[in-house]
Amino acid sequence: MYRTVITGTGRYIPELLKRNRDFGHQLFYDEKNQPILTPAEEVVSKFQAITGIEERRYATESLTATDLGIKAAEIAIADAGIDPEEIDQLIVAHNFGNVLKHTIQSDSMPALASRIKRGLGIKNPSCVPYDLLFGCPGWLQGVIQADAFFKSGMAKKALVIGTETLSRVLDPYDRDSMIFSDGAGASILEYRQTGDDGAGILSAAVQAHCGEEVDYLQMGKSNFPDSDPRVRFIKMKGRKVYEYAMKYVPDAMASALDISGVPLSRLKMVFIHQANEKMDEGIIRKFYQHYGVSEIPTHIMPMSIHKLGNSSVATIPTLLDLVRRHEIDGYEILPGDVVLMASVGAGMNINAVCYRV
């Protein structure tokens, strides 16, 4: 039996450190452009209690999302030990393309994937580079898409990258902006003969709800009352996103696990999009409740959000790389372990993949 196997991972965590205390003197406004009278220090304290975020990383001015993606990809290629000229699919997930520091325009032409192909020095014309816009679940959707190409016989090796510089599109007057960060994660996928109980992707599930949910994450004007309405920033209906995730993500995870045929007791770990600690904990609880289990196993859900924030498409591949390299205390994956990967984001879109290490 042939399966899609992750043979290499890499990440790039930017250098600029932005701690919660750095927002301690920020003036925040609500979505009605009214000043939030609660002292900023208290706003930040409540923010940390809910999200779990203590600090986040921003890219330096000289780096773009393309640059971050190249750095992560080089590490993943070296980790897999492959010749980059053998890559058939180069898939790059992002949301905003390249946004230069101190500018307001997104640059996505040519595709970031094309620029990353050049940056990696890949000359093979059969290496097809393209971008994928799927909200925060973009990297995982790229993995699902690569698996489909493998099964069709059109590819054997793929490089899937999630890269983002969200700091360039944040509204400093919006307290929700403290959630987001920059970063890149990459993986090499190969189609290999593994046997019935071998490593690889076992199943996947994808959902999209595009009614009123489309507006839960979108671009909008600053919360500052005198801002230029032509300049757009990330805007999020936090409560709506939370309720949506609680309702649908556990079911998608259960669907992927059920399709795989792997019993819940065999599940070693869940790599979930690092969006909000309380939300992720709630998703895990509801996922286990789906199977009538009230006690969640310890060390089931590694987290990177405390120090890295929410880097959108980069969160899962970054987290996976950290665990593979034994850089999160108490977490280790070994050959034969079964894990779930799941994400939710703008669209609204959800996906989940069941994978045997």
SS3 258: helix
The string over 195-234, giving b where at least 16 C-beta atoms fall within 10 Å of a residue's C-beta and e elsewhere, is eeeebbbbbbbbbeeeeebeebbeeebbbbeeeeeeebbb
What residues contact residue 68 under an 8 Å CB cut-off, 6+ apart?
12, 14, 59, 163, 164, 165, 182, 183, 184, 314
Task: Give CA–CA dist 219/31, Å, rounded.
Answer: 13
pLDDT band at 104 (very low <50, low <70, confident <90, very high): confident
Residue 195 has what pLDDT?
78
Residue 350 has what pLDDT?
98
pLDDT band at 197 (very low <50, low <70, confident <90, very high): confident
* Token pair of 69 as six digits: 């993606």
Residue 25 has what pLDDT?
87
Residue 153 has what pLDDT?
93
What's the whole-number average pLDDT of the chain? 95
Number of Cβ atoms within 10 Å of the Cβ of 281: 15
Q: Which amino acid is at 220?
A: G
Average pLDDT of the residues in 183-193: 97
Q: What is the pLDDT of residues 280-301, one digit of tens each?
A: 999 999 999 999 999 999 999 9
Residue 324 has what pLDDT?
97
Residue 100 has what pLDDT?
86
Question: Is residue 336 over pLDDT 80?
Answer: yes
* Residues paired with 157 in a beta bridge: 190
pLDDT band at 101 (very low <50, low <70, confident <90, very high): confident
Question: Is residue 330 over pLDDT 80?
Answer: yes
Q: What is the pLDDT of residues 252-268, one digit of tens each?
A: 999 999 999 999 999 99
* Token pair of 81 as six digits: 């030990």
Question: Is residue 210 over pLDDT 80?
Answer: yes
pLDDT band at 161 (very low <50, low <70, confident <90, very high): very high
Exposed (0-12), middle (13-18) or buried (19+): which is 61, by Cβ within 10 Å? exposed
Residue 320 has what pLDDT?
98
Token pair 């014309």 is found at 125
Question: Is residue 196 over pLDDT 80?
Answer: no
> For the chain, which domains are there?
2-193 (3.40.47.10), 200-356 (3.40.47.10)
DSSP 8-state class, residue 15: S
Task: Give CA–CA dist 142/89, Å, rounded.
Answer: 10
Average pLDDT of the residues in 182-193: 97
pLDDT band at 103 (very low <50, low <70, confident <90, very high): confident
Residue 85 has what pLDDT?
98
**Is pLDDT larger for residue 25 or for residue 270?**
270
Task: Give CA–CA dist 114/102, Å, rounded.
Answer: 24
Share of the chain above pLDDT 70, in %: 100
Share of the chain above pLDDT 90, in %: 92
